[in-house]
Amino acid sequence: MSSDRPFRRRAIKLLARVLLGGRRAHYHSWWPSLRIEGREAGRPGEVRFRGKDSLPLLGTDALAERAGERIVIVGSGPSVSGADLKGLPDRSTILLNGAISLIGQGIDRPLAIAIEDERFVWRHFGMMRERMTAPDTFCLMSPGVIRAIGELDARFLEGRPLILIDDVSKPYGAPRRSAADIAGFEFVTVAGDDGFSSDPDRGVFQGGSVAISALQFALATHAREIGFIGVDIANADGPRFYEVGGDIAFSGIAGAEKRILGHIALAARIAAGNGVRLINHSPVSALRSIGLDYRPLNQTAS
């Protein structure tokens, strides 16, 4: 199995922890080449890579303008294999990580793609080049992902609608926040170790899977139903649907199952209170254990 990230990036990550300490160790995600400027309340700001031309960031309101009443979050779990995705409307899906391989293979025009772990970029940038051909697909990306793409191809994100995935616990440009700091924000709901952000532009809770972040963005649109397929969790130690042969990357999802389910269960309760329904479209999924009933992907709601 190939390395997830280059040696220099592993060295920078270690150096950031040694020089900056634990509260600022996450600065490695953007250091030293990425800067986000002009970001403030009501203004998403812009990304600048190595001091060159900037890329404008968009807010969740731009995503909401394009979203319809139904969004399906598509992961890369084994249950995606064989699913009939062609019946999904254009711009109704958020594709997570390797689910971008479905573009042109059942999904022609996704609403957005979401990637928050830079290791995916280092392993699969060839796939990203091949599949991410539509310039109007929203890109939900963390600082580390944006920086990694910049290192591989500084022009790849030009002209694409880009929305920042910022970790409310470890935000861009600021030290790690304490649980008390986070609980004091009016846009968050915290229940034990689980959290939910109603304002993703100010930060999201990350909980072991990019599906958690994508869900918070989806719930910030006017969608009335949000479905999951390929967010299996229970069988996450198996190959992802797009992995073939022996080139299978380690997944920490199975080990983070309790944390992932806790965040989704909290979001489901908040969504229900706002008249939004969360649906599980995978017949084999741990989501069923938290009350997300299974419904075939193309079966209409009863």
Which domains are present in the chain? 60-290 (3.90.1480)
Express each pLDDT in 111-128 by its tens digit. Answer: 999 999 999 999 999 999
- Which of 43-47, 59-63, 252-256 is least confident? 252-256
Name the amino acid, one letter, at 257.
E
The whole-angstrom separation of Cα 130 and Cα 302 is 38
Higher pLDDT, 270 or 300: 270
pLDDT tens readout for residues 209-249: 999 999 999 999 989 999 999 999 875 555 555 555 555 55
pLDDT, mean of residues 79-96: 93
Rounded mean pLDDT, 23-38: 97
Residue 294, judged by CB atoms within 10 A of its CB (0-12, 13-18, 19+), counts as middle
pTM: 0.93
Give pLDDT, residue 244: 55
Q: For the purposes of burial, counting CB atoms within 10 Å of the CB of 56, is it exposed (0-12), middle (13-18) or buried (19 or more)?
A: exposed
Question: pLDDT category, 273, cuts 50, 70, 90?
Answer: very high
pLDDT over 80 at 274, yes or no: yes
Closest by CA to 89, choosing from 101, 77, 106, 105, is 106
**Considering only 1-10, 44-53, 82-91, 197-206, which range has the smallest mean pLDDT?**
1-10
What is the rounded distance in angstroms from the CA atom of residue 256 to the CA atom of residue 207?
Answer: 8
Percent of the chain with pLDDT over 70: 92
Mean pLDDT of the chain: 92
Burial 208-244 (b: 16+ CB within 10 A, else e): bbbbbbbbbbbbbbebebbbbbbbbbbbbeebbbbbe
pLDDT for the residue numbered 141:
98
Mean pLDDT within 146-168: 97
Confidence category of residue 2, pLDDT binned at 50, 70, 90: very low
pLDDT of amino acid 256? 87
Please give the pLDDT value at position 238.
Answer: 55
The answer to whether residue 65 scores a pLDDT higher than 90 is yes
pLDDT at 298 (0 to 100): 85
Q: What is the per-residue pLDDT across 166-200, written as a single tens digit (0 to 9) for each?
A: 999 999 999 999 999 999 999 999 999 999 999 99
Longest dimension (CA), the chain: 57
Predicted pLDDT of residue 58? 98
pLDDT of residue 70: 97
Kindly state the average pLDDT of the residues 90-109.
96
pLDDT of residue 4: 82
